[in-house]
Amino acid sequence: MKLGSFRIAGRDTYGAISGDAVIDLGARLGPRYATLRKLLAEPDGLAIAREHVQAGRVDASLAEVAYLPVVPDAEKIFCIGVNYADHLEETRIARAAHPTVFLRYAASQVGHDQAMLMPRESAQLDYECEVAVVIGKAGRRIAVAEAWSHVAGYACYNDGSVRDWQMHTSQWGPGKNFLATGGFGPWMTTADELDPRREPLQLTTRLNGEVMQHSDTSLMIFGIGELIAYCSTMLPLAPGDVIVTGTPGGVGMARKPPRYLAVGDTVEVEVSGVGILRNRVQADQAFPV
């Protein structure tokens, strides 16, 4: 099952994807399940969603919707740095004993087919294809062996990074949190249909059609179970929380010469079993956007 968040006729909602159409679960299920995050928080939420999918009635064409980040109101967004060996090598960063964790804010994200914004303050906006893990069951100090039972699903993520601001200090937060620089979408595929333990997920980035990154999740330094265990040690994980699991080699800043994004570029991040997240780069003209 594929679940995502959308704006339909000026109203923010969420739903399930059925072919080229959407089942508007937000409208059908009412205030108790008003957002995807609230649906995930209900023990029977996904089962209720499946009932509507199996009924076969749709509410809107995908062509009619504007995509929002998969979970627009995530309580916590953990991001993992240098988690693929080839990216570690190209950045010349020493391998750490523990995952490198930084945080993103929800306002730094955009949905599929929405504009990633090039800041006025930098010309070093970079792409990073990643797999996002969406949490479906709460937990604290989750054991690695139990971690997979806490996953609701998987999504594409473009951890757009403003490199010069990222490198202002050893803390990466500024370069990872410019307004509308991270892509999250187009939807998540639920964990009952996609399991990286059985078959690694393939990740690909295309910039204006040219392949820039290609790898798979078997090459991660810290696996998904380890990341869930580590992040849940700091804070209890809640349904709708997101762990963005790191990017492989091939990022723009490591190329010779560097290949940063430019206004007018189109970036695609594809994850096998999920789909393709597409964003066009536009100039950040004003605030608010």
Q: What percent of the chain has pLDDT over 90?
A: 91
Structure tokens, 93: 């960063």
pLDDT at position 287 over 70: no
Report whether pLDDT(170) > 90: no
Residues 6+ away with beta carbon under 8 Å from 131: 154, 155, 156, 157, 196, 201, 203, 217, 244, 245, 271
What type of residue sits at position 210? E
Rounded to whole angstroms, the Cα distance separating 246 from 232 reads 17
Average pLDDT, the chain: 95
- Tell me the pLDDT band of 133, cut-offs 50, 70 and 90: very high
Question: What pLDDT was estimated at residue 94?
Answer: 72
pLDDT for residue 222 is more than 70:
yes
Q: What is the pLDDT of residue 66?
A: 98
Q: Which residue in the block uniquely carries the two structure tokens 């409208």?
A: 27
Q: Kindly report, residue by residue over 29-45, the tens digit of the pLDDT.
A: 999 999 999 999 999 99
What are the C-alpha distances in Å from 75 to residues 126, 158, 208, 242?
Answer: 25, 19, 33, 8
Round to whole Å and give the CA distance between 225 and 147.
Answer: 5
SS3 of the chain: the string is CEEEEEEECCEEEEEEEECCEEEEHHHHHCHHHCCHHHHHHCCCHHHHHHHHHHHCCCCEEHHHCEECCCCCCCCCEEEEECCEHHHHHHHCCCCCCCCEEEECCHHHEECCCCCEEECCCCCCEECCEEEEEEECCCECCCCHHHHHHHEEEEEEEECCEEHHHHCCCCCCHHHHCCCCCEEEEEEEEECCCCCCCCCCCEEEEEECCEEEEEEEHHHECCCHHHHHHHHHHHCCECCCCEEECCCCCCCHHHCCCCCCCCCCCEEEEEECCCEEEEEEEEECCCCCC
Per-residue pLDDT of 69-113, as tens digits, reads 999 999 999 999 999 987 777 776 778 789 999 999 999 999 999
User: What number is the average pLDDT over the span 216-221?
Assistant: 95
User: Cα 127 from chain centroid?
Assistant: 13
Average pLDDT rounded to a whole number, residues 142-170: 97
pLDDT at site 181 = 98
Please tell me the predicted confidence (pLDDT) of residue 288.
58
For residue 286, what pLDDT is reported?
A: 65
Q: What's the maximum distance between 2 C-alpha atoms anywhere in the chain?
A: 53
